[in-house]
C-alpha cells in the first residue's frame, strides 16, 4: 500500500474501535493488594527452582503472587504439576485480550501462567500446515506465513493473541469460505492436569479431546501449540468507506441485504468499523467493485476512507492501527440474532440511546459481526464443532464500552446489562433470537457454554471428566467459561 494512502487510512480510521490491550486487563487487587500469602510464595519459589532455563521465568508482581512464563511445553508441564500438587490457584494467559477480570488474570492468591514465550510459527515443509504457539500475536503469525504465499484462518487484528482467540472460535476474514479458526485445526498439543503432554488429532487416540477443544475452551488443559491448516493467499481488494449518519437506516438495511445475498459469495466479507454507517468491504481477490457488495454501492454517496488492492499484512496495518495503550478498562457483551433489517435498526437505536447515558470519559463501540450460514455448514464439513451453530445467516452482536475512571465501573456495568436486556427483548419480540453466544466477545455473566445446547455441554463435561478427573482446571483455575459454573 503506498505510504500516502496508508497515512490517509490511519487518519481516517480514527473511527476504528479502540482496542483492548493486554495492558488494560484489569487484575483484581490493584497496587494496594494484600501481601502475598505464605503458601503462594512457597509455590512461586518452587516454580523458580524448577524452571532452571531462565532469566525471566518468574516475575514478582503486586497484583498476583507471581507470573510464570514457561519457555517451552516441558516447562508448562512442570508448572501444571507444581500448581496441582500445591493446590495453587492459577490463571492462563496467552495474549491477555479477554476483557473479563479474572479470566486471563488472577489476584495475589494465585499464579499467572503466561504463555508469551511460546511464540514460534513453523511452516511445514510441504507448506500445508503451520505449528503456532499460543503466545503469538496474529501479526507475527501472518508476517511469518504471508511472504511464503500462505496464511491460516486467524484473527482480523494484528496485536490480538492466538491462544484465546483459537479456543473461543475465532472470527477471520475467511469465515464464510473456511468456517471459524477452530474448524481449521489439524492438531492441538495440550498439557493435561497430570502434567502429561499429548497431541490430539481428529483420528488419533485423543480424538475426543480434539473435538472437545472445538468449543470447550480451557476446561481440559493448557494448549501449548495449534497446528493449523494453511491456504494460499494473495492480494485482497479493500474498500473502507463512511456513509453519512442520515443514511444510517438505509445502511443497516444494506447490511441485512448483504447477508441474504452478497454474503453467498464466500470470497466476500464485511467488517463494521465503528458505531454508525462505516464499513470495510473486503474481497479475497484483487477485483474492482465485487458484485457481492451491491447493497452498499446502491446507497449512493459516501466518504472514502481507503480503497486499495493489498496483502493480508496491509490489512493488518489498517485494522491494527489504533491499538491503544494506557490505563483503559473495557467491558462488553454479546447476543445472536437472525437477519432482520428492521431489527438491525431497532438494536442500533437501543445502543445509541443507552450509551448517551454513559458518564463523562466513557465511550461505547458497536460492531456487530455479520455471519454467513456457511460458517456453520463449513464447520460441519470440516469435522464439526461443539458450538451448536444454526445454518442460517446471523449477527453475532458485539459491542463494548471503554473507560478510565474506576469509580464509573458500576454505572458502566449497569448500562451494559441494560443494553443486553433491551436488545435481547427486542430480538425475542421479533422471534429472531438465536441461542448462541460468541465466547470471544461474551460478558462475565453470560452463560456461554449452555448456549451451545445440552448435548454439547454433556460432551464437554464428559471429556473434561476423562482428561481432568481431579478437576484441576475446575477447582484451581481462577475463572473462565468453565463447566463448574453451570
Q: In angstroms, give the least distance from the CB of 415 to ligand FAD.
A: 20
DSSP helix/strand/coil, 137? strand
Backbone angles phi and psi of 22, in degrees to 5 = -55, -35
400, β-bridge pairs:
332, 365
Cα angle value 359/363/365 (rounded, 5°): 145
Cell matching residue 215: 468449543
| Least spacing, CB of residue 227 vs ligand FAD, in Å | 13
Residue among 347 and 371 whose Cβ is closer to ligand FAD = 371
Measure the N-to-C terminal CA separation of the chain; round to a whole number of Å.
49
Interface contacts to ligand FAD, rule CB under 6 A: 19-20, 91-98, 103-104, 115, 134, 155-157, 160-165, 167-171, 218, 222-223, 440, 480
Helix (H) or strand (E) holding 183: none
Of 279 and 343, which has the nearer Cβ to ligand FAD?
279
Supply the minimum distance, in Å, between the C-beta of residue 218 and ligand FAD.
3
Sign, CA dihedral 379-384-386-391, equals: positive
- DSSP code of residue 133: -
- Residue 59 or 303: the one with the smaller Cβ distance to ligand FAD is 59
Q: Tell me how far, at minimum, the Cβ of 88 lies from ligand FAD, in Å.
A: 15
Q: Across-strand partners of 239? A: 281, 307
Closer residue to ligand FAD in complex, CB, 187/248: 187
Query: How far is 9 from 207, CA to CA, in rounded Å?
Result: 45
**3-class DSSP state for residue 198?**
strand
Q: How far is CA 277 from CA 18, 20, 58, 242, 247, in A?
A: 17, 22, 47, 6, 7
CB of 479 to ligand FAD, least distance (A): 7
Residue 260 sits at φ, ψ, to 5 deg, of -80, -30
Helix (H, G, I), strand (E, B) or coil at 212: helix
Nearest distance in Å: CB 98, ligand FAD = 3
- Extract the C-alpha cell encoding 130: 503451520
Nearer to ligand FAD, 110 or 164 (CB): 164
Q: How far is the CB of 453 from ligand FAD (least distance, A)?
A: 20
Residues 337 and 427: beta-carbon distance below 8 Å: yes
Q: Closer CB to ligand FAD, residue 40 or residue 98? A: 98
All three cell numbers of 361, joined, read 470519559
Q: Give the nearer residue to ligand FAD in terms of CB position, either 365 or 373.
A: 365
CB of 25 to ligand FAD, least distance (A): 7
**Closer CB to ligand FAD, 345 or 444, in the complex:** 444
Question: What distance in Å separates the CA atoms of residue 48 and residue 67, rounded to the nearest whole number?
Answer: 10
Closest CA to 372 of 103, 166, 179: 179
Strand ranges, E, within 174-294: 185-191, 197-201, 222-229, 231-232, 236-242, 268-274, 278-283
35-42 LR contacts (CB < 8 Å, sep 24+): 35/108, 36/65, 36/66, 36/108, 37/65, 37/108, 37/109, 39/86, 39/88, 40/65, 40/66, 40/88, 40/108, 40/109, 40/110, 40/111, 41/65, 42/86
Of 12 and 167, which CB lies nearer to ligand FAD in the complex structure?
Answer: 167
Supply the minimum distance, in Å, between the C-beta of residue 399 and ligand FAD.
13
Kindly tell me which of 223 and 401 has the beta carbon lying closer to ligand FAD: 223
Task: Report the residue number, 343 or 386, with the smaller CB distance to ligand FAD.
Answer: 386
Nearest residue to the partner ligand FAD, using Cβ? 164
How near is the Cβ of 152 to ligand FAD at its closest, in Å?
A: 13
Q: Write down the least CB distance from residue 468 to ligand FAD, Å.
A: 12
Q: How far is the CB of 79 from ligand FAD (least distance, A)?
A: 12
Q: Are 181 and 172 in contact (CB under 8 A)?
A: yes
Total H helices, total E strands in the chain? 15, 20
Strand partners, 161: 137
Residue placing its CB nearer to ligand FAD in the complex, 26 or 155: 155
Amino acid at each position: 500500500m503506498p505510504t500516502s494512502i496508508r497515512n490517509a487510512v490511519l487518519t481516517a480510521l480514527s473511527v476504528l474501535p479502540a482496542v483492548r490491550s493486554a495492558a488494560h486487563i484489569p487484575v483484581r487487587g490493584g497496587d494496594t493488594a494484600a501481601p502475598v500469602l505464605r503458601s503462594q510464595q512457597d509455590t512461586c519459589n518452587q516454580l523458580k527452582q524448577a524452571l532452571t532455563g531462565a532469566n525471566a521465568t518468574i516475575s514478582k508482581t503486586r497484583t498476583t503472587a507471581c507470573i510464570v512464563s514457561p519457555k517451552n511445553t516441558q516447562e508448562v508441564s512442570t508448572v501444571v504439576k507444581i500448581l496441582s500438587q500445591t493446590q495453587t490457584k492459577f490463571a492462563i494467559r496467552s495474549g491477555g485480550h479477554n476483557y473479563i477480570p479474572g479470566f486471563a488474570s488472577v489476584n495475589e492468591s494465585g499464579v499467572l501462567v503466561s504463555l508469551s514465550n511460546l511464540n514460534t510459527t513453523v511452516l511445514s515443509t510441504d507448506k500445508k500446515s503451520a505449528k503456532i504457539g499460543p503466545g503469538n500475536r496474529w501479526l507475527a503469525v501472518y508476517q511469518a506465513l504471508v511472504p511464503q504465499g500462505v496464511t491460516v484462518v486467524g484473527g482480523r487484528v494484528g496485536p490480538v493473541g492466538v491462544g484465546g482467540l483459537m479456543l473461543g472460535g475465532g472470527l477471520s476474514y475467511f469465515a464464510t469460505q473456511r468456517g471459524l479458526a477452530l474448524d481449521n485445526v489439524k492438531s492441538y498439543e495440550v498439557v493435561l492436569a497430570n502434567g502429561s503432554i499429548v497431541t490430539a488429532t481428529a483420528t488419533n487416540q485423543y480424538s475426543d479431546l480434539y473435538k472437545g477443544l472445538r468449543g470447550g475452551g480451557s476446561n481440559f488443559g493448557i494448549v501449548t501449540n495449534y497446528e493449523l491448516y494453511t491456504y494460499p493467499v494473495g492480494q485482497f481488494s479493500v474498500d473502507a468507506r463512511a456513509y453519512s449518519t442520515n443514511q444510517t437506516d438505509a445502511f443497516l438495511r444494506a447490511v441485512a441485504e448483504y447477508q441474504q445475498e452478497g454474503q453467498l459469495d464466500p470470497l466476500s466479507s464485511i467488517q463494521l468499523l465503528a458505531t454508525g454507517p462505516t464499513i470495510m468491504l473486503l474481497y479475497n481477490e484483487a477485483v474492482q467493485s465485487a458484485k457481492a457488495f451491491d447493497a452498499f454501492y446502491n446507497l449512493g454517496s459516501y466518504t472514502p476512507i481507503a480503497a486499495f488492492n493489498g496483502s493480508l499484512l496491509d490489512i493488518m496495518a489498517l485494522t491494527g492501527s489504533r491499538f491503544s495503550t494506557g490505563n483503559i478498562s473495557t467491558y462488553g457483551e454479546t447476543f445472536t440474532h437472525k437477519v432482520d433489517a428492521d431489527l438491525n435498526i431497532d438494536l442500533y437505536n437501543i445502543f445509541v440511546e443507552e450509551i448517551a447515558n454513559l458518564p463523562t470519559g466513557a465511550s461505547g463501540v458497536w460492531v456487530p459481526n455479520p455471519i454467513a450460514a456457511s460458517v456453520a455448514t463449513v464447520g460441519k464439513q470440516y469435522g464439526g464443532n461443539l458450538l451448536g451453530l444454526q445454518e442460517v445467516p446471523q449477527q453475532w452482536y458485539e459491542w463494548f464500552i471503554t473507560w478510565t475512571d474506576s469509580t464509573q465501573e458500576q454505572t458502566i456495568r449497569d448500562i451494559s446489562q441494560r443494553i443486553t436486556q433491551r436488545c435481547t427483548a427486542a430480538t425475542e419480540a421479533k422471534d429472531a433470537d438465536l441461542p448462541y453466544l460468541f465466547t470471544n466477545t461474551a460478558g462475565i455473566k453470560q452463560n456461554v457454554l449452555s448456549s451451545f445446547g445440552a448435548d454439547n455441554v454433556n460432551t464437554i463435561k464428559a471429556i473434561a471428566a476423562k482428561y481432568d478427573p481431579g478437576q484441576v482446571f475446575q477447582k484451581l483455575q481462577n475463572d473462565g467459561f468453565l463447566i463448574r459454573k453451570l
